[in-house]
A and B are shown apart, each in its own frame.
Chain A
Amino acid sequence: MDSTASAESIQLRYQPAVPIRNGKLMLWLFLSTEVMFFAALIGTYIVLRFGAAAWPTPTDVHLSEPIGALNTFILICSSVTIVLALESARADSGGRAKAYLFVTLLLGAAFLGIKAYEYQVKFHHGLHVDRARRTIYDQADLEYASGLRAALRSVTADTNADAAALAAATALLEQANNPDADPSALALQAAEFSEVPEAADWRLPIVIPGGHMWTSTYFLLTGLHALHVAAGLLVFVCVLPLRLGTARAGLLENVGLYWHFVDIVWIFLFPLLYLF
């Protein structure tokens, strides 16, 4: 045929190299880029963590393994529900697919909720990335001593404080004000002081060697993973109103592939961050 043929009705034919939908191919390629993204992040974590001179233990940084395991379990459940949603869509039962997808959405939201609770615990103990709000120091040095002084001053200025604890705080402040005071000794005393139940909430600065790098890597890895989870939830919300029959099985499959990938990333993050 030649150029004189009427163009209006032509549908071009192609010669695809792989027997899958374009969308699915694109999604797998996208997952490859995501693999590289997380490889860079996890690689960074591994080299910085195992190269570090010191690394905090889970108790140092209030990291709860059972909660991490629970979150792992939730994500695994959500992986099952979304694959069941896909099966239902393929069987053309849109209602069931929708129900499964909704459960997946709930599980994902639960994951994020637990994550938020974990973050809140960390923040409560002064484990921020933000230096200004962090009460942990990598080492007992002059910087630590000045941080301790500032914290003690705000404690002693607090009029509602418990009398006994207040007296202890004033005594410690006197010591800390001495320019010749040994920061390590101060750190030890401050740690004991933090054990006093009434004073625990005052959050005196503590020394956790490697604490800075721990907060950096923990919040970066879990934060970017949580962003991926949130993006997945957003997609669920967009997909839910559609009619999830056979025609949408491809779409649901793509969404599922992405969600499983997010699950796999967490499967690696859980032991690396919580159990190592």
Chain B
Amino acid sequence: MARIGVFICHCGENIGRTVDCAAVSAAAAKMPGVVVGVDYKYMCSDPGQQMIRKAIIEQKLTGVVVGACSPRMHERTFRAAAAEAGLNPYLLEMANLREHCSWVHSNQAEATQKAIDLVRVMVAKVRRNRALRPIRVPVEPTALVVGGGIAGIQAALDIAAGGKKVVLVESGPSIGGHMARLSETFPTLDCSQCILTPRMVEAASHPNITLMTYSEVASVEGFVGNFTVTIRRKARYVDPAKCTGCGDCFNKCPIKKIPNEFDAGLGQRRAIYVPFPQAVPNKPVIDAAHCTMLQKGKCGLCAKVCPRGAIDYQDQDRLEKVKVGAVVLATGFQLWDHAAYGEYGGGRLRDVIDGFAFERLASASGPTGGLIKRPSDGKEPQTVVFLQCCGSRDDKVGKKYCSKICCMYTAKHAMLYRHKVYEGRAVVFYMDVRAAGKGYEEFVRRAIEADGAEYVRGRVSRITRRRDGKLVVRGADTLAGRPVTIEADLVVLADAVVPRPGSEKLAQLFGVGYDQDGFYSEAHPKLRPVETAAAGVFLAGACQAPKDIPETVSQASAAAAKVLGLFAKPELEREPVIARVNRTTCAHCRACISACPYGAAKDFDIVDRAGKVLRAVADVNEGLCQGCGTCASVCRSHSVDLDGFTDEQIHAELNAL
């Protein structure tokens, strides 16, 4: 038999002013199943909570309704109080008499009547409440970090420093990502590799970090705390265990003229190669597409010269399973292909290059040893035009959004160029200069004032190549309001920042959302910027939105903190509001399985002792279920129910109205 206690709060004057709280508690006391009906000035105060605890114990209450403020305000408070008195916290419900009643109605009679109704509804509900226990799921204290750029490296190092194991997966042969390709970094102009490579080495050598380069996520099973991720270890054709990285193989390799991706195609590599001298691990892989041995079975030179017999042409992709409790996605970005702009040469003009190409030209470790030489004829360009917002802020051909980093790296490029070519002209076309950030505005001003970069506000309408090799850049100076034509030797386009190819597929594997541009969606744009809708999956870096290095690193550390927080307890506790299937009545129409946003509803075979399948039904995975209840309402026979919002509770609430 139900013994419900109803506690009406005046909230000082907030409720009492418009609702006759005494009348409400008196009416409540007469409701079926109610044994206590009292009102008090401040229920959330210590004496108020004491009043509830006392009643629970002395009156042996089986349920409690607190008529007060919004449950969003104090449900935790009162449920905690109930728990202290030995009542299961989920046997307490709140009627919202303040936000939904006293504050929005002025007529006392009406407000009081509504308050009584709201309390009656909650009394009816709480009579059907069942004691619920928080869902406990064990946590595998190992993190998977996908992407070996600065974001992934930082996240991995922080998690490892926190004493937890990390599996760092990188699709390329080496970690380091784009940052390893940069010459200097704004706004301090310190050498990118100088600050990055120590981190790369640390990541590779850290006892808590397992590095998996040249590898990709193939499939994902499980849920927060208990993911099983299958990693595809791509065939390297070089046994890293045997290889010492001596370099004999790639020095002898006859296939020499493969454009080097790392150098944005400006330099060349062999068919067996390490992407760059400081690569980690510093061990070559064979590019099967270009290797004549793997293609035609001819050559085999590298195997001959390898002193350790590390070359294995029979090598194949392997699948490896790892169990992890949390995942950090740090897959980064790439530059949008400006070939879409016919007016800029459609990608056919060799001296119209993108930001990365310029980084490689300016980099001491680049194909030109740090000398600015234009690709077509290797001459030093005397006039360089830099073009911002190439594909950004252009929803016709390019992207709607601002790529955020281009203003700064263009200023840096202009600066670096002027440092290397004293007489050279650096002309920057821009729409706006967005230099919000510590030391950023100063940096741009330096480029203009100290280093004499010429900033022209306006767009470039077309770039054409003249016979003599000059690039004729026609545009408009919108400040002066006149057309400008510049004869340039090199044009650098600040192409838009876009997600890596295949990032959608990866998001789908992990159940992470992404926007129309393919950037991963955070759980909340303000308050949960590193979480995703998929519990236990976090974001770091430019895979979520264009970011510069400091931002990327801070988000990576934030993600690491989230992971460490998740790993702090051996088990994780979740709200027990989850769906349950009545296997006796389930007809296995699979509507719930199709509807579940989390893949928590699954097929389940009912088997006899001999293991023979008697019947298939639907089942809900407690770890994955988030408690939306969509499955319950697509179930025609109502064989799925939702704890905390059961059919019985809702039916009772409706009958009380």
Chain B associates with chain A: no
